[in-house]
Structure 1
């Protein structure tokens, strides 16, 4: 089972050779919000996808590459502050359950006036949560990981197909 999982995830393997290459993964709109991690060493390899939060926790960044893409793509998510008492939520990407500290609305700016919001894990550790849950249940995570990649691809498809009125 482990070799099947590895070959499945190898489809999403990519390398980033420089800071400039990482920045170029993002749209110009997101590059303005980009705060790169201090401890990043180039070149680096990514097995599935790469994510990090900037220090204030307002922005979470995602870089991934689908097999049919020429190069990796990145997006900056803005955390929507929760109001009131903590609540529970279910991540739309990995189906993990957690408090509003763990799962909440992350939005993507489509234009100056339009954004799309996703109810997902704030730390975007969805693949790790899928693998942990599958291991506990004694099942293969492949189907759920495939669904996660499909949802990520849809996110980037929505971003690239957005037409401003």
Structure 2
């Protein structure tokens, strides 16, 4: 993985060479739910992480790679249906505030009986929100971005270390 300096921060840059490599980043369980975006061109050069929603909006996909990982890893989040009136929420990853249409429960299936839920940005635009907030406040986003990367790394550690009873 390479690093690049932009106006704000040192960021993780990685490349996915083929569609097969992208598919292989996901667990078998998630590969079954995988709907790739149309007109995706390879090699795919990724700044920090790559995310997209499938057309129905039920699944949001995340592909991420830490510098010490050999390969990128992917996960399929399932959007938990919102019922009732719109309320505000705070993303646990980037601390952005938004309505329940913007911030909500995204769950990751761990087994047939277990899933973990996260209260995070529905579109996973966390890094952009951190950069925007830092720019508006005249602050350096380095620390919040490093914390975001740690939270994402922890998600993937939890997935890989999960052992059903």
Mapped partners of 1:39, 1:96: distance in 2: 30
Does the alignment pair 1:119 with 2:119? yes
**Helix, strand or coil for the counterpart of 2:156?**
helix
Residue 3 of structure 1 and its aligned partner are, at CA, apart by 5.1
More helix per residue: 1 or 2? 1
Would the alpha carbon gap of residues 96 and 41 (structure 1) be closer, same or farther in structure 2, given more than 3 Å must change? same
Contact kept, 8 Å, 2:89 with 2:98, in 1: the verdict is yes
How does 1:9-88 map onto structure 2 within 5 Å? 9=11, 12-88=12-88
Q: List per-residue Cα deviations over 1:125-158 (Å, max 9, x = no partner).
A: 0000000000000000000000000000000000
Contact kept, 8 Å, 2:8 with 2:131, in 1: the verdict is no
Aligned to 2:153: 153
Contact kept, 8 Å, 2:105 with 2:117, in 1: the verdict is yes
- After the TM superposition, list the runs of 4 or more consecutive aligned residues in structure 1 that deviate by more than 6 angstroms: none
TM (norm. structure 2) is 0.95
TM (norm. structure 1) is 0.95
Mapped partners of 2:115, 2:52: distance in 1: 21
Query: How many residue pairs were aligned?
Result: 161
Would the alpha carbon gap of residues 132 and 18 (structure 1) be closer, same or farther in structure 2, given more than 3 Å must change? same
Residue 5 of structure 1 and its aligned partner are, at CA, apart by 4.0
Aligned to 1:163: 163
Aligned to 1:96: 96
Would the alpha carbon gap of residues 104 and 3 (structure 1) be closer, same or farther in structure 2, given more than 3 Å must change? closer
> Gapped runs of 5+ residues in structure 2?
none
Mapped partners of 1:15, 1:53: distance in 2: 20
